[in-house]
Amino acid sequence: MVLSDNIKKVFASFAAETQRAMDRYTSFRVGGPADLLVLPQTVEQVIALVKTAQNTELPVTIIGGGTNILVSDKGIRGLVMVLTRLKQKIEPITPSINTNGDPQGRIYLTALAGEPLGHLCRYAADTGLAGLAWAAGIPGTIGGAVMMNAGAFGSDMSQIVRQIEVLDLTTLETAVLPANRLQFSYRKLSLENSVVLKVRLGLTRADANTVRDEFYRNLKIKQSTQPVSQASAGCFFTNPPGVKSAGYLIEQAGMKRARYNGAMVSDLHANFIVNHGNARARDILNLAAQVKKRVYEKFGINLKEEVNTIGD
């Protein structure tokens, strides 16, 4: 998209950069340029940016930690907002008895969308708050975790989110949505055309040593079963219902260690596609297509992507 000098000037006041390569902002380490990229630090800046994008008729793409996305080699048109700087101090709140119908002993943690999930997880482990230890080692932001309904060890975000604050990208209105208005499903929150600005989690007081032990146990399992030090976006496919796991199907279909240029099916966890060298998005997509084809041929199961492909 060719941006006029006027548009560039308007967004320069938000320190937006033009033609910024997206590989720096995704854990896959691939992706072509964003026409305009900006990292807002406050909710007010997010709102002003969305308004300006509307006035200049630019499409808006929201990204958190970029740990569950694959950006195309041609990049993203319009304005990309990366929310990793949208943070403030984590706020613990002890609700008065039965606020929101919650049991006693409940503590709320409130954070802006760009807060790393890992920070919240460690904060909970260090202060003896139970309910988040399952998330040990999951990268990305709390906003992204809510949108993806991130989960592990049989738990997920839907079990601890008490409310979120959102901005509607069309009306520019903000709203607080309590948990009972949120439609979570497996690795998904149904929320169209909105930015998650703020998240409130409900955790419970517990013995600090027990919580810390669970946190480190989970972290250790994750580090020994997943290629956490290689560039990837986590599990590439969702686990189909009724089968052991997508990784099991991929392995049984003989695709573990399969390669396409710089993309490779991890030899540690077959549901991870890793950027093994200088993979491009198209190499990853090509390998993913081969994996799907082989799994379908062997099991008649159509794997569905968990990773979101974004861009041209």
Ligand X SMILES: Cc1cc2nc3c(=O)[nH]c(=O)nc-3n(C[C@H](O)[C@H](O)[C@H](O)COP(=O)(O)OP(=O)(O)OC[C@H]3O[C@@H](n4cnc5c(N)ncnc54)[C@H](O)[C@@H]3O)c2cc1C
Q: Contact between 62 and ligand X (CB under 6 A)? A: yes
Q: Contact between 118 and ligand X (CB under 6 A)? A: no
Please check whether residue 255 is in contact with residue 291, taking contact to mean a CB–CB distance below 8 angstroms. yes
**235 given a catalytic annotation:** yes
**306 given a catalytic annotation:** yes
Tell me, residue by residue from 267 to 306, as one string, x for binding to ligand X by CB under 6 A and - for no binding.
Answer: ----------------------------------------
β-pair type (69-71, 259-260): unpaired
Give the closest residue to 110 by CA, choosing from 74, 56, 146. Answer: 146
CB 164 to ligand X: min, Å: 9
Structure token pair of residue 86:
């949208």
CB-closest chain residue to ligand X: 144
Please check whether residue 10 is in contact with residue 36, taking contact to mean a CB–CB distance below 8 angstroms. no
Residue of 111, 132, 150, 246 interacting with ligand X (CB under 6 A): 150
Q: How far is CA 124 from CA 19, 145, 184, 196, 210, in A?
A: 39, 16, 23, 21, 12
Q: Contact between 158 and ligand X (CB under 6 A)? A: no
Q: Which is nearer to ligand X, 20 or 106 (CB)?
A: 20
Q: What is the dihedral of CA 16, 19, 23, 24, to 10 degrees?
A: -30
Catalytic residue, from 20, 29, 106, 187: name it: 187
Structure token pair of residue 219:
């972290």
Q: Which residues bind ligand X (CB under 6 A)?
A: 27, 62-69, 83, 113, 138-141, 143-145, 147-148, 150-152, 195-196, 226, 228, 232-234, 308
Catalytic positions: 187, 235, 306
